[in-house]
Amino acid sequence: MESLSEQSFLILAGLADQPRHGYGLVTEVAALSGDRVRLRASTLYAALERLTARGLVEPERDEVENGRLRRYYRLTDAGAAVVEAETERMASQARAAKRRLARRAQLGLSG
């Protein structure tokens, strides 16, 4: 599996519970990251193109609201599998880091 950037992971995670349009994804990514990751429109749509090409997301529908076109994207089953695998990978790495920190504390290396 090709690795995901943090931005791509957050976009996929932002689509995990429901389809969203561009601005909805920008706000969802900001919320998921605790406002640490703020996507610009150009970054978002370039990432969505790459994720669509990989079959991880797909356009669901277009709506016109206040005269503006909104394209909604949804997570594919392949995209959900990637989110699941990445989540497990990150959790495993976090557990390993916690074990090392605990060992550090046991050895009296802090301070």
Per-residue pLDDT at 1: 59
Rounded-to-integer distance, Cα 103 and Cα 17, Å: 38
Per-residue pLDDT at 109: 81
Is residue 91 very low, low, confident or very high in pLDDT (cuts 50, 70, 90)?
Answer: very high
Rounded-to-integer distance, Cα 107 and Cα 25, Å: 44
Rounded-to-integer distance, Cα 66 and Cα 48, Å: 23
Q: Which of 29, 86, 77 is nearest to 57 (CA)?
A: 77
Q: What is the pTM of this model?
A: 0.87
Number of domains in the chain: 1
In a domain, 69, yes or no: yes
Q: Which of 22, 63, 14 is nearest to 40 (CA)?
A: 22
Tell me how far the alpha carbon of residue 43 is from its chain's centroid: 13
Q: Which domain holds residue 24?
A: 6-106
In a domain, 74, yes or no: yes
12: domain CATH number is 1.10.10.10
In a domain, 1, yes or no: no
Q: Which pLDDT tens digit goes with each residue over 34-63?
A: 999 999 999 999 999 999 999 999 999 988
In a domain, 86, yes or no: yes
Kindly tell me if the per-residue pLDDT of 75 is higher than 80.
yes
Rounded-to-integer distance, Cα 35 and Cα 30, Å: 4
Maximum Cα interatomic distance, the chain, rounded to a whole number of Å: 64
In a domain, 111, yes or no: no
